[in-house]
Each structure stands twice: as C-alpha cells, then as structure tokens.
Chains A and B, each alone.
Chain A
Amino acid sequence: MLKILTRVYGKGSAIRPYVRTSAYIFRQCSNWESGIEKSVVTSKEFKNPFAQKTTTATENDHVESPALLSLNEKERRLKVLQLEVDIANQEGRRVPSLDFFNDEHWETVLTLPSKSARMKYYGFLWQVEMKKQAKQRKKEERAVATQERLDKLREERENNEHIIYGLGHVSMFLRIYDSTINHWMNHRLIRAMQFSPKLVLDCSYDEYMTKREAENAAKQLMLCFADNRSHDDPFDLHYCNVNLNTPCMQKLQRYIPTMLNIDFPMNVHQKCFTEIFPKENIVYLTPHCRTDLVEYNHDDVYVVGAMVDTVNNEPLSLAKAKRLGLRMARLPLDNYLQWGAGSGKSLTLNQMIKILLDLKQTGDWMTALRHVPRRKLLDTQMESDRTKRFLTKRANQFTVHLDRVMKEDESEERPNVRSHKKNMEFNLSTWGSKRKQNQRS
C-alpha cells in the first residue's frame, strides 16, 4: 500500500485528469473493439470447431450421469453414502461430520466412481473443515485482543486534545482509492491493446481436466490476468476458444464477475486463435516439442495452452499444434537452470505469463526464468556443502578404521588422544619449526 502511495504521489497533481483521460480512451476502445471484432463473446454467429466439441462433450456428460440413476435409486444411494460418512466419522477417520456437507458436496460424492475416490474426497473435505474450525477459533481469539486494543486506543483519544496526524486522519495526501488504481492499471492494459504484442491463452482443454484441475486452471487464469495487468509493460492478453459453460470458465466468472462487461479490458473469444491472428505468426508453446525458444520475437503471437495436467499427461497441446500445422516451441528450461530431483518441470499458467512478460521486457532468459519456483531447482551451494560434509565424514571413518587395522596387535593400549605432542617439552626456540629439528637430528 505504502509503495503504491508514494509512487502515485510522485506523479503529483496529475492524477485526476489522468484517470479521466484513461476512462475516455477506454470507452473509445471498447467501442472500437466491439465494432471491429465481432467475436467478443456476445456474438454467436461464428462456429468454432474446438469450442463446439467441448460443449457437446460436457453436455453429454451432464445428461448421462443423472440418467444412469433414476431419482429413486439416487435417493437410496445418497442415504447409504450418508450412513457411510456418519460411520466413518464416528470411527475417527479423516471424514468431516455429517452437518458439514452441503448439497453441492453430495452432488460431487454421487459422481465419484469408487470407494477410494470417495475416501480421498472426504479427506479433502475433512481438511477444509479442520481449517475452517481453526480459522474460527483464531478469529475469536483475535476479536478479544482487538477489542482490548481498541478500548485502550479510545481511552487515549479521549484524553488527547490535539489534532491527530497520519493516514486516515489529518494528512496532506489525498486518499487514493483501490478503484483509482484499478482505473490506472486498466488504462495501461488498454494502451497495451493498441501497441503491445499479443499473447493467447488457449482455453480449449476443459474436457481433458478433472473438475478440481479445471478449478485450479480457472484460478491460474485469473492470476494470469492480474499478473499481466500489474506488470509495467503488459501483453495484450487474449482468451481464445472459450466456452462459457465449462467448469473452468464458470469458476473464472466467479473470480472475475465483470469479465464479460463491455468496458472491462479482457479479451474473451469463442473463436480459435488461428482465425484471429495470421497463422504464420503463431507459435504454440508446448513442453512436449523438441525445439527450444531461443529468442523472444516481438512479431510472433505466442499461445499458451490453458490446462492443468496433474492427472492426464498426454501431449494434448502438441497434438493440437500438430493438427493445426503451427510452429511450436518450448522454454529452454534445461539450458538455463539446474533442475533438482523430485518435482517435475511443470509450471503454472501465471508463472508462464510472468516469464514471458519479463522475457519480452528484458530479452534476458536469466531474468525471465527467476519466476520458476526455486524449490524445483538444485541448490548448488547447499548440495556441494552436503557432499563435502559427507565425504569428510566418510574419510574420518575410514582413517579411524585404518588406524585400528594397522595397530591391531597393540590396540588395547592405544590412547584416544593424539599422542605425538604428549611428551614434547615446550621450547620457544624450536616451537613451530618441526622440520628443522628433524633435519638437524
């Protein structure tokens, strides 16, 4: 907060007109966009093969699962599952209590295929319940503390006859509201729409994700928007192949409710990116291909597949790029980073966007790749320390053993302390010059 305050303060009195102009450009721009580009979600005349496919798939799913279970049977099953939850909860397993569940939870439980899947889901809910309880407990504790503090403060105020200076009191600064900062950042985005390179998020992978993954993807897409907006030099970000009925997009709409408003600077298309941008400029970024992205090209339109693939690791984006006949590239992760063992080389969508943002701005892979989570990398310093420690330890062990082996016959009397200095008499003139003494003798 403080940082933003000072920064805006630095621009001084220009704030007000600045905002006004941005709003002006803004309106103009949105007009321009809706006028020229008819693919903004509200228009429906266009048919996109990828978006279409997703709709049918999900619709089928939705129709089929309730059809499988007649209403009566569903009720019966639900009852049994409720009993299962109750018993498991009484047994002290990681299952939340019965009154924690709401209809949405039961709806999910009914779709799960096996007992182990259910138990996993219960475990997840149990954690949520426990966190909720802990939060509640802490909140109550905090409320007491706050009350005490406020009482004390009020008392002080009553005794104070002077004006109080500071933020929230008498101050020489105008208060800058969140909405002001929002306007300012939105303005930056709109400027980017005119002048910045395009970046595409391909949202056509919903049918390959589980519900959980889709929701994670939605969160990452939200963060993508936020990270891009708060960067000094943002991209013109396009969400393509969007189907608003998919779980991912539903969730994203819950994260950004104003996402479809005409004056909100977010480009959402039902169209495929191949129809919006010239095909020869498109480069699909997929980890499954074998060509590294060597240098960032400002003329190219880079596409990132909006998927979270923790369960399913098929090369989906590779297949798609191959089918569309696009150029492909992957980040040169191996050339620049030393990867540690364990966690894979997967990145979240917002990390990807951050990397590309910095790459565009600096052209330097080192700066860009600092957004790769450090836990995934090998810590050379620590690693070398550890090996050194290990080797010394082994060496020490080894010498000790060697000692014993060599002196086996007299081992009983072998003293523990190093003995060669024991019987030496201290003599200042020869001290520290062992070699000379030896030579002389």
Chain B
Amino acid sequence: MKVMSRFLRYSLLFNKSVFQTTAVRGASNFRKPNVIVKVDQLAEVKGTFFKNRSELTNLEWQNLKDLLIKNYKHINRNNVDAIIVGICNESAQLTLAKSYLSHLRANGVEPNDATLGKLLRIYNSVYHARGGNEDCLTLEEQNEILEIYRNIRRKHEVLDSLSCENLILGLVGTTHWRDGLELMEMMKLTAAPSLPVLNEMTMKAFKMQDIELGWKLLHQMLDERKQPKCEVFLTYLDIIAKDLKTLPGELDKFFIFLKTHDVVITTKTANAINELASKHHKLFSCTLTNLKRQGKCGSCGLHLENVSLSDVDFHRLQDVFLEKVLIRKDVFQKSTPEELKRFTEYIERTGPYDCVIDGLNVAYSMGSKKPPQALANLLASVVKYFKNRNKHVLVLGRNHMNKWPQKAMQYVKNNAAVFLANDLSQDDPFMLYATLKSGQTTDFFSRDFMRQHAHLLGPDLKLIFRRWQQEHQYSLITQTETGKILVKEPIRYLICAHKVQDHWHIPYKQEYEQHVPDSFEIPEHWMCIKINK
C-alpha cells in the first residue's frame, strides 16, 4: 500500500511532464478535424435536373451521366445507370425513369439487372401512392413488370437476395404476386428474407384476403425477430372490418398474436382499433387509458395479471445457468473450480434465501469514489431494509470487502449470510445462480441490467430469463441525505398484451422501432378492450 501511494503522488507530480514529452514527440496535439457533413449532392442533382420535368432529352441524359461520373469518385460507367434510376425514386418520377431507360435503349444499351431492379422499386412506390389496390397499376404497367421479372428469371437459374428483393417489390403490384413466395424461398439460400420483403408480402396477402398466408408470414417475421410495420396491422384491420360476423373472433386472434410474440403496437394502429370500436360499439368497446399503481387498469379497475414462469421453464433456466454463464468453456475466466465448489457447498448449507444482494453493486451505486465507510453503511442499510421485513438474505461480495470498516461489516455478517468471492472473480453470475437455486419466490437486489449474462444464455432462454428478471429484480434508486434508502420494487405484473377476465389490455407506444430495446419500463399508454360475445 505504501509503495502504491508513493507512486500515486509521484504520478501527480509528474503528470505535467508526460505532456511535455509528448510535445517533444511531435505527433501529440493531433486531433481529427470535425468531418464536415456533405449535403447530399445527389439530391441537388435531383433538384436541378428533374424538377418539374417528366422526361429529358437524350443530350441532357448524356450530360447528366458524364457530370456524375466526372464529379463523383465512386460513380463509374458500370453503376451510373442504376444510380440515376435510383435518384428518381419518387412515385411521380416514374416517367423520368422510363425516359432514361428509353434513352439507354436508343443508344443500343440494354439496361442491366440492377437498373431494372431500381425501376421495379419505383413501381412499388407508385403502387402504394395510388392506394395499393389490386388494379391501381394499369395492365400495361403490370405487363412491363412481369416482363422484367421473366427476363431476369430466364437469365439466371438462382437469384441473389438483392435481386429477389427488387423483384418481389415489383411483383406485389401485379396479379402474379404469389411468385414472390418462390423468390422468398430462393432468398433463404444466401440470406434471411429482409424486412421490406416480409412487410410487403404480408400486406399483399392480407389485402388479397389470403388471411392464412398473411398470418404465416407474420409469424415467420416474428420468429426472425423482425418487427412488422404498422401498415401491415392497418391492412389487416381494414380487411377484417369488412365482415362483421367474424370481426370479434379475428380481433381476438390478433390480440393473442400480440401476446405470444410480445409485440407492442404503435399509436397509429391503436387509433385505428379505437375508431373501429366507435363504429361497431355493439361488438366491442375500447378505451385508451393509463395504468394506476400496482398494475391497476384505469378503465376497468382490474389488476393486470402476474408474471409467472412455468415450472418447466424455470427449471430449465436453473439447470443450465451455471454451465452457460459462469463456467462456459473455461471456469478460470470468471472463477476457479475450488471457489465454485466452495460456493455451491455454501448455498447448500445456508440456503434457500428470500433475497440475494449484490453487495458491491449496492455499495457502489451511489458513486464509486466514496470512502469505504460510506460504502459499507449503504450496504448495511440495504440489509436492514430486508431484515425489517423478516427476510433471510444472502450478500455476495469480493474478498476485499473484508477491509471495510468492521462495525458495518459486522452488522451485515450478523444479519445476513455472506459469501465473498475471490477478488479476480465475477460476482454477478454467483448472485443470479444463488437466486435461481433458492426457488421461484426468491428475488435479487442489483442495479445491473444483466445484459451480458442474458446474452450468454442464447436467444431462447434469454426471453425466459428476462421475464424472470423483471419479476424478481429489486434495485436501489437512491439514498436520501438522512440515510434512508429508496428501493425500486420488481414489476410483478405482465407488461405485454394480455387478457384479464374478459378485458384485453394492450400497451402501445408512440413510434415504430425496428429493434426493440429490452428494458423493463412500464409502457405509458394502454388500451382496455372488451369484446362482447
């Protein structure tokens, strides 16, 4: 310790000299200049060349082409065609794109596959702009799409995922949209079907009244952990609203889908459902509401259902946890075999517990630069919190905690079981394992989100672990100046869509997100829906 402190002082004294040496070395004060964000110059091209135009002359196209190749390093003869067609991506610019293609053909150049693919994408946006109905693209346009499709299929035996995507986006506008399914299979050879493809195909399936296929695709989408866009749901609601007899049943099906896949819909969809309810209030009623304390619904007054893990799931988690999170390929990374043995024996002897506390996490949660006295006191007050509630507690920590002030540590040791791991070991996995081992009713106390450990469990068990964590994690919010601690209790009720008695409770959020962050925040807005039988 003495040597250490000597060096610390030394470092304080000499900090300055470090930077002087850097000045000598020359390359010191180098700082990257802020990258000036270039305005999208291609968009500029779009403004100057394409504004209010429906076609350009051959000469103008040639000029544009030369200009792009000259001014942009990454544009060359090979990719200029697709880029130009790509710039006219708005639905109103279809004629422009076509004019460019005819320019190419006039020069005796057959447009390449990528260029045609881009054209199909424009057709797709035209299709949506015109309302997305079966006959919104004229027969001529549909035929052109189909011709492109057939040509490309003829040229290649198997297609890659990029062309497949382009083709599917085009085909959706025609009567031959079912060929898209074949293309989706083809895509799987090299990549998982992409989000736009799945969205478009699902929407089309619902639109064409092929509800069964639509559901199949939706489930497929969720299995690949991709979030469907709200348009898909809106199309579905549109379709089922046409038949009042089956409406309640289909709605029920929809909600069950939300529940099983833990999907949170957006405000847009929620409003659509609400409107539907106000139109057909005899069939079902819907209120937009908030949650009251302890998961009580603001509208019907029922409490949301408790999270409960089935015994099978829980035991699966319990069994593999140590193997998958702590031991993995090499015990020595996070612990040692002797320590592991000592630990399992210890919890056999002193368990089961009501709550397991991550000692260091608690102690450091008010800032890590505190004196040991403050750290120990904080831990002691958390232990006291549980002691006052008559709970049997295990505190996990590391050996160096023995150096903390004796008085507070003695209090902890008298009122809780204490296991101190080696200074070089990780204590989180030990804590989680002790909690799991003690049974379904045991909680743990830590502020950590445990993302790292959840990830190690693999995609399947991760979901189970997350639910369990939501139900069982206590954490410290803060300590007031008088030393009183504020504790965040676990959320014991479900925070996804589910049914309580005959009321569906559906959470919704403001914006669509492609990737759902895994946090345990209680959704702000809820819908309370009652379907009349």
- Checking A79, A80, A89, A382 against B78 with a beta-carbon cut-off of 8 angstroms, the contacting residue is A89
- Checking A294, A337, A367 against B7 with a beta-carbon cut-off of 8 angstroms, the contacting residue is A294
Chain B residues whose CB sits within 8 angstroms of the CB of A375 once the complex forms = 30
The CA-CA distance from A90 to B16 in the complex, in Å, is 55
The CA-CA distance from A243 to B79 in the complex, in Å, is 45
Per-residue contact bits, chain B 420-434, to A (CB 8 Å; 1 contact, 0 not): 000110000000000
Chain A CB within 8 A of B64 CB: no
Q: Is the CB of A335 within 8 A of B19?
A: no
The CA-CA distance from A332 to B189 in the complex, in Å, is 51
Stretch at the interface among A6-14, A319-327, A409-417: A319-327
Complex interface residues of chain B between 77 and 122 (CB less than 8 A to chain A): 78-83, 86, 112-115, 117-118
Q: Is the CB of A318 within 8 A of B424?
A: yes
B interface majority secondary structure? helix
The CA-CA distance from A380 to B118 in the complex, in Å, is 52
The CA-CA distance from A338 to B16 in the complex, in Å, is 10
Complex interface residues of chain B between 151 and 182 (CB less than 8 A to chain A): 156-163
Q: Is the CB of B18 within 8 A of A337?
A: yes
The CA-CA distance from A2 to B389 in the complex, in Å, is 81
Complex interface residues of chain A between 331 and 387 (CB less than 8 A to chain B): 332, 335-338, 366-367, 369-370, 374-375, 377, 379-382
Q: Taking CB as reference atom, which chain A residue is nearest B163?
A: A87
The CA-CA distance from A316 to B78 in the complex, in Å, is 47
Chain B CB within 8 A of A81 CB: yes
Chain A CB within 8 A of B346 CB: no
Q: Is the CB of A87 within 8 A of B192?
A: no
Q: Is the CB of A84 within 8 A of B160?
A: yes
Q: Is the CB of B29 within 8 A of A90?
A: no
Chain B CB within 8 A of A399 CB: no
Chain A residues whose CB sits within 8 angstroms of the CB of B3 once the complex forms = 294
Chain B residues whose CB sits within 8 angstroms of the CB of A90 once the complex forms = 78-79, 81-82, 112-115
Q: How many Å from the CB of B48 to the closest CB on chain A? A: 20
Q: Is the CB of B82 within 8 A of A92?
A: yes
The CA-CA distance from A92 to B336 in the complex, in Å, is 53
Stretch at the interface among B20-28, B318-326, B472-480: B20-28
Q: Is the CB of A366 within 8 A of B333?
A: no
Chain A CB within 8 A of B369 CB: no
Chain B residues whose CB sits within 8 angstroms of the CB of A439 once the complex forms = none
Chain B CB within 8 A of A289 CB: yes
The CA-CA distance from A374 to B19 in the complex, in Å, is 9
Q: Is the CB of A374 within 8 A of B30?
A: yes
Q: Is the CB of B82 within 8 A of A382?
A: no
Chain A residues whose CB sits within 8 angstroms of the CB of B82 once the complex forms = 90-92
The CA-CA distance from A366 to B11 in the complex, in Å, is 9
The CA-CA distance from A95 to B112 in the complex, in Å, is 16
Q: Is the CB of B160 within 8 A of A92?
A: no
Q: How many Å from the CB of A160 to the closest CB on chain B? A: 40
Q: Is the CB of B332 within 8 A of A366?
A: no
Complex interface residues of chain B between 2 and 58 (CB less than 8 A to chain A): 3-4, 7-8, 10-11, 14-19, 21-22, 25, 27-31
Chain A residues whose CB sits within 8 angstroms of the CB of B19 once the complex forms = 379-381
Q: How many Å from the CB of A331 to the closest CB on chain B? A: 12
Q: How many Å from the CB of A8 to the closest CB on chain B? A: 26
Chain A CB within 8 A of B75 CB: yes
The CA-CA distance from A335 to B4 in the complex, in Å, is 9
The CA-CA distance from A94 to B192 in the complex, in Å, is 21
Q: How many Å from the CB of B197 to the closest CB on chain A? A: 12
Complex interface residues of chain B between 122 and 170 (CB less than 8 A to chain A): 156-163
The CA-CA distance from A316 to B83 in the complex, in Å, is 47
Complex interface residues of chain B between 199 and 251 (CB less than 8 A to chain A): none
Number of A-B contacts (CB under 8 A): 131
Residue count of chain A within 8 Å CB distance of chain B: 48
| Residue picked from B27, B162, B163, most chain A C-beta under 10 Å | B162
Q: Is the CB of A80 within 8 A of B189?
A: yes
| Residue picked from A77, A86, A318, most chain B C-beta under 10 Å | A86
Q: How many Å from the CB of A372 to the closest CB on chain B? A: 9
- Checking A83, A86, A315, A338 against B15 with a beta-carbon cut-off of 8 angstroms, the contacting residue is A338
Chain B CB within 8 A of A408 CB: no
Q: Is the CB of A320 within 8 A of B163?
A: no
Q: How many Å from the CB of A268 to the closest CB on chain B? A: 26
Q: Is the CB of B11 within 8 A of A290?
A: no
Contact A319/B113 with A80-B160, A370-B21, A375-B30 known, Cβ cut-off 8 Å = no
Q: How many Å from the CB of A338 to the closest CB on chain B? A: 6
Chain B residues whose CB sits within 8 angstroms of the CB of A314 once the complex forms = 333
Chain B CB within 8 A of A115 CB: yes
Chain B CB within 8 A of A114 CB: yes
Chain A CB within 8 A of B190 CB: yes
Chain A CB within 8 A of B330 CB: yes
Q: Is the CB of B29 within 8 A of A322?
A: no
Chain A residues whose CB sits within 8 angstroms of the CB of B113 once the complex forms = 86-87, 90
Q: Is the CB of A92 within 8 A of B162?
A: no
- Checking A80, A89, A94, A319 against B332 with a beta-carbon cut-off of 8 angstroms, the contacting residue is A319
Chain B CB within 8 A of A394 CB: no
- Checking B22, B80, B158 against A79 with a beta-carbon cut-off of 8 angstroms, the contacting residue is B158
Contact A92/B75 with A84-B190, A366-B14 known, Cβ cut-off 8 Å = yes
Q: How many Å from the CB of A88 to the closest CB on chain B? A: 6
Chain A CB within 8 A of B302 CB: no
Q: How many Å from the CB of B155 to the closest CB on chain A? A: 10
Contact A366/B21 with A92-B82, A314-B333 known, Cβ cut-off 8 Å = yes
Q: Is the CB of B22 within 8 A of A382?
A: no
Chain A residues whose CB sits within 8 angstroms of the CB of B29 once the complex forms = 379, 382
Q: Is the CB of A83 within 8 A of B163?
A: yes
The CA-CA distance from A76 to B118 in the complex, in Å, is 25
Chain A CB within 8 A of B403 CB: no
Chain B residues whose CB sits within 8 angstroms of the CB of A309 once the complex forms = none
Contact A80/B83 with A92-B75, A374-B30 known, Cβ cut-off 8 Å = no
Chain B CB within 8 A of A263 CB: no
| Residue picked from A294, A322, A369, most chain B C-beta under 10 Å | A322
Q: Is the CB of A81 within 8 A of B190?
A: yes
- Checking B14, B79, B112, B332 against A322 with a beta-carbon cut-off of 8 angstroms, the contacting residue is B332
Chain B CB within 8 A of A97 CB: yes
Per-residue contact bits, chain A 283-321, to B (CB 8 Å; 1 contact, 0 not): 000001110101000000000000000000011101110
Chain A CB within 8 A of B486 CB: no
The CA-CA distance from A377 to B28 in the complex, in Å, is 9
The CA-CA distance from A346 to B162 in the complex, in Å, is 39
Chain A CB within 8 A of B74 CB: yes
Q: How many Å from the CB of B31 to the closest CB on chain A? A: 7
The CA-CA distance from A11 to B491 in the complex, in Å, is 80
Chain A residues whose CB sits within 8 angstroms of the CB of B79 once the complex forms = 89-92
Q: Is the CB of A335 within 8 A of B424?
A: no
The CA-CA distance from A332 to B333 in the complex, in Å, is 22
Chain A CB within 8 A of B191 CB: yes
Q: Is the CB of B333 within 8 A of A319?
A: yes
- Checking B86, B112, B333 against A318 with a beta-carbon cut-off of 8 angstroms, the contacting residue is B333
Q: How many Å from the CB of A184 to the closest CB on chain B? A: 27
The CA-CA distance from A76 to B79 in the complex, in Å, is 26
Chain B residues whose CB sits within 8 angstroms of the CB of A130 once the complex forms = 73-74
Q: Is the CB of B21 within 8 A of A83?
A: no
The CA-CA distance from A88 to B164 in the complex, in Å, is 12
- Checking B11, B22, B157, B330 against A319 with a beta-carbon cut-off of 8 angstroms, the contacting residue is B330
Chain B residues whose CB sits within 8 angstroms of the CB of A338 once the complex forms = 15, 18
Q: How many Å from the CB of A354 to the closest CB on chain B? A: 13
Q: How many Å from the CB of A413 to the closest CB on chain B? A: 42
Chain A residues whose CB sits within 8 angstroms of the CB of B334 once the complex forms = 315
Chain A residues whose CB sits within 8 angstroms of the CB of B8 once the complex forms = 335
Q: Taking CB as reference atom, which chain A residue is nearest B335?
A: A322
Q: Is the CB of A97 within 8 A of B78?
A: yes
18 contacts between A and B (CB under 8 A): A76-B158, A79-B157, A80-B189, A83-B163, A87-B113, A89-B78, A90-B112, A90-B114, A90-B115, A91-B82, A92-B80, A323-B330, A335-B7, A335-B11, A336-B11, A379-B19, A382-B29, A382-B31
Q: A89-B78, A91-B82 are in contact. List 11 more A-B contacts (CB 8 A).
A: A79-B157, A87-B117, A88-B162, A90-B79, A90-B113, A90-B114, A91-B86, A292-B4, A314-B333, A316-B333, A374-B30
